Amino acid sequence: MYNIAIAQSGGPTSAINASLAGVFAEGATNEFIDEIYGSENGIEGILNDRLINLRNIIIDEHDKQLLMITPSTILGSCRFKLKSYTEDESSYIKILETFEKHNIKAFFYIGGNDSMDTVMKLDAYFKSKSIDIKVVGVPKTIDNDLPETDHTPGFGSAAKYVATSLQEIIRDSRVYSVQSVTIVEIMGRDAGWLTASSCVLRANGEPAPHLIYLPEGQFSPEKYLTDLKEMLARYKAVLVAVSEGIRFPGAVYDDTKDAFGHTQNAGIGKILENYTKEHLGCKVRSIELNVMQRCSSHIASLTDIEEAERIGRAAVNAAVNQSKSGVMMTFKRISNNPYRVEIVDTEIEKVANKEKKFPEKWITAEGNNVSIDALNYFLPLIQGEPVIEYRNGIPVHFRLDQ
Amino acid sequence: MYNIAIAQSGGPTSAINASLAGVFAEGATNEFIDEIYGSENGIEGILNDRLINLRNIIIDEHDKQLLMITPSTILGSCRFKLKSYTEDESSYIKILETFEKHNIKAFFYIGGNDSMDTVMKLDAYFKSKSIDIKVVGVPKTIDNDLPETDHTPGFGSAAKYVATSLQEIIRDSRVYSVQSVTIVEIMGRDAGWLTASSCVLRANGEPAPHLIYLPEGQFSPEKYLTDLKEMLARYKAVLVAVSEGIRFPGAVYDDTKDAFGHTQNAGIGKILENYTKEHLGCKVRSIELNVMQRCSSHIASLTDIEEAERIGRAAVNAAVNQSKSGVMMTFKRISNNPYRVEIVDTEIEKVANKEKKFPEKWITAEGNNVSIDALNYFLPLIQGEPVIEYRNGIPVHFRLDQ
């Protein structure tokens, strides 16, 4: 008998806790596993020996169900980058100390491409020292930009929130008799997957969003105005979905410094709003969906939540029953209709620090929308609604502290 | 037998269509009523004879159910102010022409305090001419700022969305180990009801939002910093709910002109974000919940939707069976536990162009939160969840056009 540990790193999603629940549930019933530790704030908790025995907090099936539909992560996260062990071994030694102290033989790290760098480095370190500790990555990101996997847990719920909100926003924006343009800025600094996913509204006959701009395409302000005029000739209220990763030519961006409200630090939504107002006479507004995109678990995708749990379970199986290490679990889409995925693992080197862009072939020739292939890819990921428990009219969250 | 007409004016909510459905359903079964016309874009549709026969579009119970959970208004809205008829009778003559042409004997106007001005003026005009056309107001606003009524349809759903989102945002903001301040700007230009309603999270033991600032209170930037420091001493992540109506001393506001991204036109959330960054060293971000507050029907309050339908029905009863005119329908809270309201009418003069502020007695002595009495007032209004119909993973809306 030995113990396992789990941690989460990077930005929150609505499905991380479901993966945590999956690792826990599989670990709790595995004959080789005794305790299942959660590490506070990602790898920082391992470095500083801040572990939570999950058996003490996830007591019954009701706890697990609540956990699965609680957004963000109950364990906290971090943005910690391990140096190479040949450069500085100190963190590795501290991590190993924690693992040995608690008899931890397998470590699961839920995260995106940065977090997979940690999985890769830890695995390489343990292998170099012939230490038998398995390290397995569990994917997670609303950006959907991890290579090797058909999609990432957390993405489907974000896409469902975006589609649901955009449909409500188009209802709202059509209310007056005057023409209007509504620009919605959607997350995805480098990859346009989430913005592109707003095309799912077309499956229900909704023409909005009328224009979709992704960082993978070529953005030209002049072409944008032409696109907009064409749409305004056909629709009273035009909805534009724009990825936060779009760069407006000439605008000065400074994402790393604190913003003090100066125009150059405004998001692309605000920049496009101002540009549109300058060049067109109609009513224009911009909306930033902000962090609600990654934490609106009340409108989570059941498919996403269930898959996130399954991939957590599969990670435990891979490490414990198949002795895998230095891998990340991935979804492989076997069939689209009916939608079926299987879970396999991939070498961590193929994922760490890499990103998967939205395919250019799915961007229309005009560069202002996406193809039916993209729609078919996205649609299965947003299906189904988890049962949400309400108390006092508000969804109940699984909470460890205040 | 005669006909009736209905229109909606002012900003969208998630419950307007439910009131429309209520007027329609009651009208459709009333022995005196033949056709029920919907007027496009508020009173503008009456002025220009753009009427829709609602019997042709709301065919069955399923249509009605869909309509009730579709946000905004299928009839469109307007921001039209009638001049006094003694000053300019031309609009009144056109309105009367439309009513006479279609044998319309009762007109229902769903709206806020501005729209009730139209109800008041039309009723006064018809009475002055001894014309027997009933004019009845049906309240609607997410701002909850109408006098005489316990609360307004649309408010409960907005409050449920705000509370649900704030709870998710606090989960999201707690994820890193560093201290942070998250400022959420909530709608309500003159009245703080919606911002104050975020206190409902306390009913589930959630301390967020830790600070609540309303336009009805005195806002001092220095006191705000003191409040924030106190909260940061107790909580890792502090959530501030601030009404858009708060004015920051010294900031130049220009709400009427188009904004071109200049700092003085930023919302209070952004202004407070910048101010906080300047004075405190921690991570700060601001979030604007924007129009999602008024159109997120996927998380509507069932209590709100059902009451909106009931008050629409009651308006028809008042006009047709009780010969009322020049009144607005109101909710009277009979009991809070169990929650019970009855619907009565009030003279339109008591409502038109007037607004009801959030009570000062419900603001705490420190001016940075609200009392338990406020919580008890708000809580019943957000209870229950309507059944949402999904198609392709997206809520189905009742739609007339694109």
Q: Give CA torsion, residues B234, B239, B244, B247, to 10 deg.
A: 30
d(CA B279, CA A48): 31
| Residue in B closest to A171 by C-alpha | B72
* Better pLDDT: B281 or B103: B103
Q: Do A379 and B391 touch (CB under 8 A)?
A: no
The verdict on a CB contact (< 8 Å) between B176 and A203 is: no
- Give the residue-averaged pLDDT of B292-310: 98
A296 touches chain B (CB under 8 A): yes
- Report helix, strand or coil for A268: helix
Q: What is the mean pLDDT of residues A354-381?
A: 97
B261 chain-A contacts, CB cut-off 8 A? 263, 266, 270-271, 273-274
CA distance B149 to chain A (A): 22
Q: Would you say residue A161 has pLDDT above 70?
A: yes
| Cβ–Cβ gap B297/A76 under 8 Å | no
Residue A264, pLDDT > 70, answer: no
Q: What is the ipTM of this complex?
A: 0.96
B79 contacts in A (CB within 8 Å)? 176
Task: Please indicate whether, in this complex, the C-beta atoms of B172 and A72 are within 8 angstroms of each other.
Answer: yes
Q: Which residues contact A299 (CB under 8 A, 6 or more apart)?
A: A157, A160, A161, A164, A385, B298, B299
Q: In this predicted model, which residue has the larger pLDDT, B81 or A317?
A: A317
Residue B20 phi, psi (nearest 5)? -60, -45
Query: How far is it, in rounded angstroms, from Cα A390 to Cα B282?
Result: 33
For residue B60, what is the DSSP state? Answer: S
The reported pLDDT for the residue numbered B235 is: 96
Q: What is the 3-state secondary structure (H, E, C) of B349-379?
A: HHCCCCCCCCCHHHECCCCCCECHHHHHHHH
Please check whether residue A339 touches B, CB under 8 A.
no
Nearest to B23 by CA among B334, B377, B315: B315
Say which DSSP state A141 is in.
-
* Residues of A catalogued as catalytic: 143
Q: Does A163 touch chain B (CB under 8 A)?
A: yes
Residue B281 burial class via C-beta count within 10 angstroms: exposed 0-12, middle 13-18, buried 19 and up:
exposed
Give the distance, in angstroms, between the CA of residue A235 and the centroid of all CA atoms in the same chain. Answer: 33
- In degrees and rounded to multiples of 5, residue A123 shows phi and psi of -60, -45
Q: Is the pLDDT of residue A261 over 90?
A: no
User: What is the spatial distance between Cα A295 and Cα A317, in angstroms, rounded to a whole number?
Assistant: 28
CA distance B211 to B91: 48
| Residue B271 phi, psi (nearest 5) | -60, -45
The pTM of this model reads: 0.96
What number is the average pLDDT over the span B183-199? Answer: 96
- Digit-coded pLDDT (tens) for B217-263: 999 999 999 999 999 999 999 999 999 999 998 876 655 443 333 33
Question: Is residue A197 less than 8 Å (CB to CB) from chain B?
Answer: no
Kindly state whether A283 is in contact with chain B, defined as any CB-CB distance less than 8 angstroms: no
Q: Collapse the DSSP code of B53 into the 3-class scheme (helix H, G, I; strand E, B; otherwise coil) and give the result.
A: strand
Closest CA to B182 of B280, B268, B284: B284
A367: left (phi over 0), alpha (psi -120 to 50) or beta: left
CB within 8 Å: A295 and B169: yes
Distance CA A286, CA A288 (A): 7
Backbone angles phi, psi at A240, to 5 degrees: -110, 125
* pLDDT value of residue B189: 86
Q: Which amino acid is at A115?
A: S
**Catalytic residue list of B:** 143
For chain A, say whether B229 makes contact (Cβ under 8 Å): no
The alpha carbon of residue B114 is apart from the nearest alpha carbon of chain A, in Å, by 16
Structure confidence at residue B257 (pLDDT): 42
Query: In chain A, which among 15-34 make CB contacts under 8 A with chain B?
Result: none
Pairing of strands A33-39, A51-53: antiparallel
Q: pLDDT, tens digit, for every residue of B111-126?
A: 998 899 999 999 999 9
| Cβ contact, residue pair A204, B391, below 8 Å | yes
Q: Answer whether A351's CB lies under 8 Å from A115's CB.
A: no
pLDDT greater at residue A134 or residue A264: A134
Q: How many CB pairs under 8 A join A and B?
A: 195
At residue B293, the pLDDT reads 97
In contact, B251 and B223? CB cutoff 8 Å = no
Q: Does A140 touch chain B (CB under 8 A)?
A: no
Beta bridge partners of A213: A242
Burial class (CB in 10 A: 0-12, 13-18, 19+), B225: middle
Q: Given this model, what pLDDT does residue A253 score?
A: 62
Contact B2, B104 (CB under 8 A): yes
Please indicate if any CB of chain B lies within 8 Å of the CB of A295: yes
Contact residues on chain A for B160, CB-CB shorter than 8 A: 393-394
Q: Which of A298, A299, A389, A397 to mutate to test the interface with B (most CBs of B within 10 A)?
A: A298
pLDDT tens digits along A323-333: 999 999 999 99
Which of B131, B143, B171 lies closest to B356 in space, CA to CA? B143
Q: Would an 8 Å CB–CB cutoff place A291 in contact with chain B? A: yes
A209: nearest CA partner in chain B? B402
Closest chain A residue to B8, measured at CA? A175
Helices assigned H by DSSP within A2-89: 16-29, 43-47, 61-68
Q: Which residues of A touch B73 (CB under 8 A)?
A: 175
What percentage of chain B's residues is helix, strand, coil (to nearest 5)?
40, 20, 40
Dist. CA B73–CA A220, nearest whole Å: 35
Mean pLDDT (chain A) is: 94
What mean pLDDT, rounded, does chain B reach?
94
**Digit-coded pLDDT (tens) for B32-83:** 999 999 999 999 999 999 999 999 999 999 999 999 999 999 999 998 899 9
pLDDT at A114: 87
pLDDT tens, B90-112? 999 999 999 999 999 999 999 99
Tell me whether B372 touches chain A (CB under 8 Å).
Answer: no
| Residue A229 parent element (H or E) | helix A221-234
Q: Do the Cβ atoms of A176 and B77 come within 8 Å?
A: yes
Residue of A nearest to B281 (CA): A258
CB < 8 Å to A270, chain B: 261
Q: How many CB atoms lie within 10 A of CB B135?
A: 24
Distances in Å between the Cα of B140 and the Cα atoms of B245, B320, B357 are 19, 21, 16
Tell me the C-alpha to C-alpha distance, in Å, between residue A342 and each of A184, A307, A314, A329. Answer: 34, 10, 10, 10
Whether A115 contacts chain B with CB within 8 A: no
Distances (CA, A) of B206 to A10, A394, B239, B314: 25, 11, 11, 38
pLDDT at A263 over 50: no
Q: Which residues of B touch A297 (CB under 8 A)?
A: 168
CA–CA separation, B233 and B237 (whole Å):
10
What's the CA angle centered on A111, arms A108 and A114, to 5 degrees?
A: 115
One-letter identity of residue A391: R
